[in-house]
Amino acid sequence: MGYLQSAGGTHSSATQSQSLVAWYPPMQTNETTHNDENQTQATGDRYAELQQMVAAMASDFEKFYKEGNKAAGTRVRLAMQELKNFAQTVRTEVQSIKNAGAGEGKA
């Protein structure tokens, strides 16, 4: 695996992908609702989608930062914009789920 140079220093692309893989589902509680199964499934789907998006960018990051390929830089910018839009969608979805369960007393 190659290394990516950024303003903050050098980062291993292997380390980035490993940190995404080391995810554990939320702890189970004694309280259950009828939406727990659907929300757990949605959580896994959203996380898998995030992993796919980040993994798909890896080769263009390397091409741009290591080889100076300007076309790859354009693809990186496009992918980052898509990631930003996805993040906003997830944030809105999380807030909606939190607000829907506001009266249940969960923290």
Look at residue 38 in the predicted model and tell me its pLDDT.
59
Give residue 12's pLDDT.
45
Burial of 64 (0-12, 13-18, 19+ CB in 10 A): buried
18-27, 64-73, 76-85: the lowest-pLDDT one:
18-27
Give the pLDDT band of residue 101 (cuts 50, 70, 90).
confident
CA–CA distances in Å: residue 96 to residues 48, 50, 62: 20, 19, 37
- Model confidence over 28-63: pLDDT tens digits? 554 444 455 555 566 679 999 999 999 999 999 999
Which of 8-22, 31-45, 79-93 shows the lowest mean pLDDT across its residues? 8-22
| The model's pTM | 0.57
What is the predicted pLDDT for the residue at 94?
93
